[in-house]
Amino acid sequence: MPRDLRGFINLLEERGQLCRISAPVDPDLEIAEICNRMLRVGGPGLLFENVKGAKFPVAVNLMGTEERICWAMNMEKPEELEELGKKLGMLQQPKPPKKISQAIEFGKVLFDVVKAKPLRDFLPPCHQVVIKGDKLDLNDIPMIRPYPGDAGKIVTLGLVITKDCETGTPNVGVYRLQLQSKNTMTVHWLSVRGGARHLRKAAERGKKLEVAIAMGIDPLLLMAAATPIPVELSEWLFAGLYGGAGVHLAKCKTVDLEVPAQAEIILEGTITPGEMLPDGPCGDHMGYYGGVEDSPLVRFHCMTHRKDPIYLTTFSGRPPKEEAMMAIALNRVYTPILRQQVSEIVDFFLPMEALSYKAAIISIDKAYPGQARRAALAFWSALPQFTYTKFVIVVDKAIDIRDPRQVVWAISSKVDPARDVFILPDTPFDTLDFASEKIGLGGRMGIDATTKIPPETDHEWGEPLESDPDVAAQVTQRWAELGLGDIDLSEVDPTKFGYRMS
């Protein structure tokens, strides 16, 4: 049976990770306030069944934990995400197998690609109800307004689907849309994104750009669309590879585009090149309101939806947010691909507190002088999503990069700022980053926090302090004998006084 949003909601409910709310709630500010509190404590997904002024229920925070994101991707443990990354890395840079086992493994990956081919539905659930022309009213969709300074209601988890007017190649992206009227919205996308490129091509040929928005979709499709990995696969094939089976697609009613057949709501429309309206301000992932920016206007003329549809949404802001949790999961997918492109990298981590991409910590197996700097420079160019990473901290492989205490110790004990910090000025940058002096242009900093070897330093490095292994083993064996068995050392936090009793 094809995957859909309803199936995922049922899964969360079966596993005690969904809370149904029947009390009336307001989509203006209140839903976001409730969800924000749940995100801070790792709470369950929420299904608001009685939204004021709305015909549809609203689902939010379904992907608010790394565990639930794994479930969305047909996995149980985060470690399985790295296996997916290995598969994608093999497709991205295939190498001739040297062993029979490697040939078999590559053959399995190719078979997975065959299984991932999209399928066609001719009586799709997303077409159960069709609304066209003057009867279309976008206000029927219970869009939320998350923050009091937001200019209007927004769509955040919709797949924005366009097509290259020359080659016919589709692009599937996740872009924010802002309600402008009963039948129009502005779409906020960066100029480097696929949808923006398609619009420029349409403008060159004097054509309108056809657009479809798929809302209330299987979260797996969102994860696939949010993964900008340079594999030469269509997003639909990529999503099928994620899920282990082909995505069911359906032809739109009024535009020449294909959409997920199991989607809850589909909007169909066009963009006339040059037709723009102010978009914003809107709360963004940086933790501030984004500025007002003229953005393309989408005119919608058709809406289709399932019977009794469910609207899936989220919102941006300072972590923790759903988008930050998605980024944490994607980190694990990127890791094998990054190792393949930058061989010295052992592991890497994008802390959620650093907005999931502004700071990266990478560990290397250091073998020669200058290697940390090389690794940092290679990281910035390895994948498109690392273009806007401001800080790269390089540490030795012995450092646990997910332990901030160890990382801070490495920086404090191994870094001479005059020698080990380097800055790249005036590089292309995130237009939403207000820290830059010039919007869209900023600097990047690399920090070499590895142990220095000649000629990086002229003196010998000190020997690290370590316990005597025999004495350490002896103390471990005698722990209960010493009367300390009630103290669980795994729960001790050295940054605080006291300890936790097991």
DSSP state string for 379-436 = HHHHSGGGTT--EEEEEETTS-TT-HHHHHHHHHHH--HHHHEEEEEEEE--TT-TTS
Q: What are phi and psi of 337, to 5 degrees?
A: -65, -40
For residues 364 and 409, give the distance between their C-alpha atoms in angstroms, rounded to a whole number. Answer: 17
| 430 counts as catalytic | no
CA 402 distance to own-chain centroid: 18
CA 466 distance to own-chain centroid: 39
Cα distances (Å, whole numbers) of residue 332 to 82, 279, 290, 324: 5, 34, 29, 13
For residues 121 and 260, give the distance between their C-alpha atoms in angstroms, rounded to a whole number. Answer: 9
Indicate the SS3 state at residue 220.
Answer: helix
For residues 270 and 302, give the distance between their C-alpha atoms in angstroms, rounded to a whole number. Answer: 10
Q: Give Cβ neighbours of residue 310 (< 8 Å, ≥ 6 apart).
A: 5, 6, 9, 47, 56, 57, 58, 59, 216, 264
Q: Do the beta carbons of residue 372 and residue 450 sit within 8 Å? A: yes
For residues 372 and 286, give the distance between their C-alpha atoms in angstroms, rounded to a whole number. Answer: 28
| Both tokens assigned to 365 | 């197996």
Please give the single-letter amino acid code of residue 338. Answer: L
In this structure, the chain runs to a length of: 502
3-state SS record for 136-198: CCHHHCCCEECCCCCCCCEECCCEEEEECCCCCCEEEEECEEEEEECCEEEEECCCCCHHHHH
Q: What is the CA radius of gyration of the chain?
A: 25
For residues 76 and 419, give the distance between their C-alpha atoms in angstroms, rounded to a whole number. Answer: 44
Cα distances (Å, whole numbers) of residue 280 to 74, 113, 288, 455, 462: 36, 40, 12, 52, 55
DSSP state string for 466-490 = ---HHHHHHHHHHTTTTT-TTB-GG
| Both tokens assigned to 303 | 């809406």
For residues 172 and 199, give the distance between their C-alpha atoms in angstroms, rounded to a whole number. Answer: 14
Selecting among 4, 140, 284, 448, the annotated active-site residue is 284
Residues that are catalytic:
284
